[in-house]
Chain A
Amino acid sequence: MAVKKLPLPEEELIDPGHVGCLGCGGCHAMRYTLKATGPRTIISIPACCWAVMPGVYPNTCFNIPHINTAFEVTGASISGIRAALDARGKKDITVMGWAGDGGTADIGIQALSGMVERGTKAMYVMYDNEAYMNTGIQRSSATPTGAWTTTTQVGVVRDYKRAPKKNMVEIMVAHGIPYTATANIAWPRDLIAKVKKAMAVEGPSFIHIFAPCPTGWRYPPDKTLEIAKQATLAKVFPLYEVENGVYSVKTFKKEADIGEYMMRQGRFRHLTQEEIDSISKNVLLWHDKLLKLELMTKEE
């Protein structure tokens, strides 16, 4: 089969030799994001898979300045970096926070909220593998309804994740953030375009990147991109952006089945058809709402 080469920037800002798992979606997310930002970027990373993935001292796979920070402080850390650059008059440098879903939606939400509310010129990326994957697949508030994790073990009482997935992009919209978007590693050109938009904003920006995790989601590592693609085509992870309050949603002619998407992953395999139908109903409801928000906010 002939493989068509995607027209992506050639420059690689992460070297081979990271210590991520086979098939790691978070690795694709980082690689594409750095292709968009280019080398004049400082990255701050809290506890998450990417705290370990750059390698063990004295090795690093990064070709950009990189700082490890505590779990809950990404928003504060990038505020400090931007302030220091401003203090010394250093311009044209992208300041990026890079955190997982737990470090963003749970323990880091306060520092993120503060950074966005203050209007800090910095880009915050949440790469979302939908649980605390670095530490052994524990539930986060971004874990989707229905999922098994090591802290939502199904057992005999069916104690899977019952609560809905926390919607960080909408929380960012509620802050009046100038730019926020979702992106998916299966659409790298779209991802790169969104990162470039986020970088250009004269203020805070937030990108939510869907990053499937074969280790935690229980699927074979060579299926990461297929699963990522299926999630968006099944409307589980819609691709959209909100620019100064104006929504624009990417729609697709192709569709995928939610049940099929879920059944490919061990974390959902305990679900009954009835439970899948109920999850599916909420997924479609949110997608419809998004389209309405787009209609409501789009300028004539």
Chain B
Amino acid sequence: MSTKKVITGNYTAAYGALLCRAEVVPAYPITPQTTVVEKIAEFVATGEMESQYIKVESEHSAMAACISAALTGVRTFTATSAHGLVLMHEMLHWAAGARTPVVMANINRALAPPWSVWADHTDSMSQRDTGWLQFYCSSNQEVLDTIIMAYKVCEQPDIMLPAMVNLDAFILSHTSEVVEVPDREEVDAFLPQFDPEQILDVDDPKSFGTLAFPHSWFMEWRYKIQHAHDLAAKRLVEEARGFEKHFGRPWGGLIEEYRSRDAETILVTMSTIASTTKDVVDDLRDKGRKVGLVRPRVFRPFPRSDLREALVHAKAVGVADRSHTFGYEGPLFTEVKGAMYGADRRPPMVGFTVGIGGRDVLDTTIVGLFDRLDQVADGEEGKEVTWIDLIGPEAEVD
């Protein structure tokens, strides 16, 4: 039996930890603050959650404690945001290298200076190469379901990788939505207790992470991480079927295709910008324009073949990024273009840098992106990458 709750994205993440019975939760509340760890503290205080809650003194320590706890054989959870995530950077590499299936909620926020606590993907995009699975959610329901799926897939013995479940600051983190919350027994039946093969055990002592020389196994271990990502992509699709059967609602695939199969122009974007885009697509379709949306839900492992199939027919593709790789372009744009290089046909593509530092991405903005894609489809010349909705003197330059 599930219950419908009206809860914020932050509380949803906390419910995820509760339902998945995270046994050790090392958490630091700030940099910048979200209410995820407060809600978990409440669950622990009321006895609803039987968790060892470690009130660590920084996010760096939070991740370090997660890794050591996971290697001692228990399920771990933590949450962070922006600077906290970036502070963890070293330990994010460590978590993947040590093959610990830590699951973490990250509230996507901009990085200072200047101070900003609003939605921006720079924090998690700059952790792209740490070996973590990365999910980008567009609703609170998706946050909850993805946490369950992340444990389900990442704890499998041939995967054993950490996963980051991303949700946009405020737009999801502090916004209440209806979330169908399954009861614990229902989750227990889907997600068994974590029981890893290799742990720190006084009855079977082993050394973990000892020195590896260039000629010995280091490179092979890194290859195995890549292999595990490839497997994870397959497992997510397989387990999604089981998820739907068990919980009675779909989890989805690596990407979401929205009215894009017959679309002439397609916008590729993630997280909550994609939700707004769906409304715009409906409006423009009503006016007879053949537009569509493709939303990558998983950024690592990157859904290369899914995107090729979904975009190959388009007359023009635009990619809207809520972060920017300085000196180049939006990271999603780079990745999507890279995927399309090996496609049977390469549609013309442009990149849009939008919503930086939490600037609102309104429906009117997205209509403008589709207008630009019409021009691209018609072969009109234009900039390959555009920063959208700049104000002041910068607007005149761009």
| A residues apposed to B, CB below 8 Å | 39-42, 44, 51-52, 54-60, 62-70, 72-73, 75-81, 83-88, 93, 110-111, 113-114, 117-118
CA distance A87 to B26 in the complex (A): 13
B205 x A64 contact (CB < 8 A): yes
| B141 interface residue (CB < 8 Å to A) | no
Q: Which of A52, A64, A70 makes the CB contact (< 8 A) with B90?
A: A70
25 pairs, CB–CB < 8 Å, chain A vs chain B: A42-B200, A52-B211, A56-B211, A56-B213, A65-B200, A65-B206, A65-B207, A67-B71, A68-B208, A68-B209, A69-B64, A69-B68, A72-B60, A76-B56, A76-B65, A76-B68, A79-B61, A79-B65, A81-B200, A83-B74, A84-B68, A87-B23, A87-B52, A87-B69, A114-B58
Interface flag for B210 (CB, 8 Å): yes
Which residues of A lie under 8 Å from residue B70 when comparing CB positions?
80, 84
A93 in contact with B68 given A76-B26, A76-B56, A118-B55 (CB within 8 Å): no
Q: How many A-B residue pairs have CB under 8 A?
A: 151
Bound: A51/B208 CA distance, A? 11
Contact B205 A62 (CB under 8 A): yes
CB distance from A13 to the nearest CB of B (A): 9
Interface string of B209-236 (1 = CB under 8 A from A): 1111100110000000000000000000
Residue ranges of B at the interface with A (Cβ–Cβ < 8 Å): 23-24, 26, 51-52, 54-58, 60-62, 64-74, 76, 90-91, 94, 200-202, 204-213, 216-217
Instruction: State the Cβ distance, B68 to closest chain A Cβ, in Å.
Output: 4
A181 to B57, alpha carbons, bound, how many Å? Answer: 25
**Least CB distance, B315 to chain A, in whole angstroms:** 50
- Chain A: interface secondary structure? mixed
Contact at B72–A76, with CB atoms within 8 Å?
Answer: no
Expressed in whole angstroms, the minimum distance between the Cβ of B155 and any Cβ of chain A is: 15
Closest Cβ of chain B to A173, distance in Å, is 19
B67 touches A80 (CB 8 A): yes
Q: For A51, give the chain B residue with the smallest CB separation.
A: B211
Check A66 against B61 for contact (C-beta < 8 Å).
Answer: no
User: A41 to chain B: which residues have CB within 8 Å?
Assistant: 202
* Interchain nearest-CB distance for A57 vs B (Å): 5
Question: Across the interface, do B207 and A54 meet the contact criterion of CB distance under 8 Å?
Answer: yes
Would A77 and B68 count as touching, CB distance under 8 A? yes
Cα A65 to Cα B70 with chains together (Å):
14
Closest to B221 in A: A57
Provide the residues of chain A in CB contact with B67, threshold 8 Å: 69, 77, 80
Which chain B residue shows the least CB distance to A92?
A: B202
What residues of chain A lie closer than 8 Å to B204, measured between beta carbons?
65
